[in-house]
Amino acid sequence: MKTFTSLIIILTSITASAQSFKEESVSNGSLNGALTTPTKGKIKTAILMISGSGPTDKDGNSALGLNNNSLKMVAEQFSENGFAVLRYDKRGIAGSQAAVTDPLSVRFDHFIDDAKSWLTFLSEKGYNEIVIVGHSQGSLVGMLAAQNNPNVKAFVSLSGLAEDAGEAIVRQLAAQSPVLEEDARVNIDSLKEGYTVKEYNPFLASIFGPQIQPFLKSYIAYTPTEEIKKLDIPVLIVNGTTDLQIDMPQANSLKEAYPESELLIIEGMNHVLKDAPANDVAANAATYNNPDLPLSDGLISGMVQFIKKLK
C-alpha cells in the first residue's frame, strides 16, 4: 500500500509539472503557429519568437532533416516562467506552406511583414507588452519588426549576425573553400550595387543561381549593426562560445553597435542552443539532430532575468 501511495504521489507530481503550460494552434491569415501560455498566474508579457534561415519551422527543426526542438524547448521553458510565447512556421514552411504559391517570388521583406503581422495578432489578443526573441536570421527580422512599434518593449538577439548576409557568405566560404572566396566577393559586390550576376562559378550555383538572386539581393540590403542602432528599447545579445555558424565576434560587434545593450555569453552553447564541443565539428553537428539534449544551462535563466527586470 505504501508503494502504491508513493507511485500516486510521483504520478501526480509529473502531471502537475506537465500542466504548467498549455499550447494551442493559432492562425494568422495563411500563416500558422503555436501560442504557449502558463496555466496559472497573470500573464504580463508575451514573447514573439522568430526562427532562423532556411526551411526552419516554429520548433527550430528543418525540412532538410534536422530535428532538435530547440525553439519548442525555449518556448515551453519561457511559459514555465510565466510568459505567453508565440512561435510560428515561416511562410512556405510546415504549417505555413500555403503562404507561398511561387517560391521564386519570396523576398526577405516578406519575413519582416510576417513578423509585424504576428505582433498585431498579439496586440489584438490583449498583449501590449511584447518581447521579440529572434534566432539566427530571425534576429535581423526581429530588429526590423521592432522598429517604431510601441508594443515591443525589448528585443533579444539569439545567435544573430552582426554583418550583412553577403559578408557572412564570403567569410564562411573563405574558411571552408578559400578558392571560391574571390568569386563570391565579386558576386556579392555586384548584387549590392544592384546588378544581376549572369556568370558565376558553377560550384556556387546554390548561392548565386538566378532563381536565388532576387531573395539574396533583398536580404543583403540590411546590415544588422546598422538596424540595431534604430532601436530605442532594452536589448539583450546572446551567443554561445561553440557556435560554428555565428561566432563570438558577431555578438561583440552587435554590442559595439548598440552600447546600451546587455551581452549574455553561454559557455559551450552552439547554434541550436545545446552544449557542444568547440573543436569537434562532427560532434557539434550531431546535436542539430538530437531533440533529447537539453538547452544549455544559463540560457533560459539569463533571458528570463533580462525580461523580468523590464519596467
pLDDT, mean of residues 57-69: 91
Answer yes or no: is 131 within a domain: yes
Residue 91 lies in a domain: yes
Taking residues 155-175, what's their average pLDDT?
95
Half-sphere exposure of 291 (CA within 13 A, CB side): 12
Per-residue pLDDT at 51 exceeds 80: yes
Whether 266 maps to a domain, the answer reads yes
Q: What is the pLDDT of residue 64?
A: 82
CATH at residue 292: 3.40.50.1820
Within a domain: residue 206? no
In a domain, 54, yes or no: yes
Per the structure, the count of domains in the chain is 1
Query: Mean pLDDT of all residues in the chain?
Result: 92
Q: How much is the pLDDT for 19?
A: 56
The answer, yes or no, to whether residue 66 has pLDDT greater than 90, is no
Domain range enclosing 258: 22-164+222-308
Instruction: Of 3-7, 51-55, 173-177, 248-252, give the range with the top mean pLDDT.
Output: 248-252
More confidently predicted of 68 and 4: 68
What confidence score (pLDDT) does residue 7 get?
A: 40
Residue 203 lies in a domain: no
DSSP string, the chain: -HHHHHHHHHHHHHHHHHTSEEEEEEEETTEEEEEEEESSS----EEEEE--SSSB-TTS-BTTS----HHHHHHHHHHHTT-EEEEEPPTTSGGGGGG-S-GGG--HHHHHHHHHHHHHHHHHTT--SEEEEEETHHHHHHHHHHTT-TTEEEEEEES--SS-HHHHHHHHHHHH-GGGHHHHHHHHHHHHTT-------GGGHHHH-TTTHHHHHHHTT--HHHHGGG--S-EEEEEETT-SSS-HHHHHHHHHHSTTSEEEEETTB-TTSBB--SS-HHHHHHGGG-TTSPBPTTHHHHHHHHHHT--
Kindly tell me if the per-residue pLDDT of 162 is higher than 50. yes
Given pLDDT bands bounded at 50, 70 and 90, which one contains residue 17?
very low
**CB burial readout 6-32, b (16+ within 10 A) else e:** eeeeeeeeeeeeeeebeeeebebeebb
Of 134, 133, 117, nearest to 125 by C-alpha is 117
- The reported pLDDT for the residue numbered 206 is 92
In a domain, 214, yes or no: no
As a whole number, mean pLDDT of residues 261-270 equals 98
Percentage, residues of the chain above pLDDT 70: 94
Cell for 258? 548598440
Q: Is residue 35 part of a domain?
A: yes
Confidence (pLDDT) at 41: 81
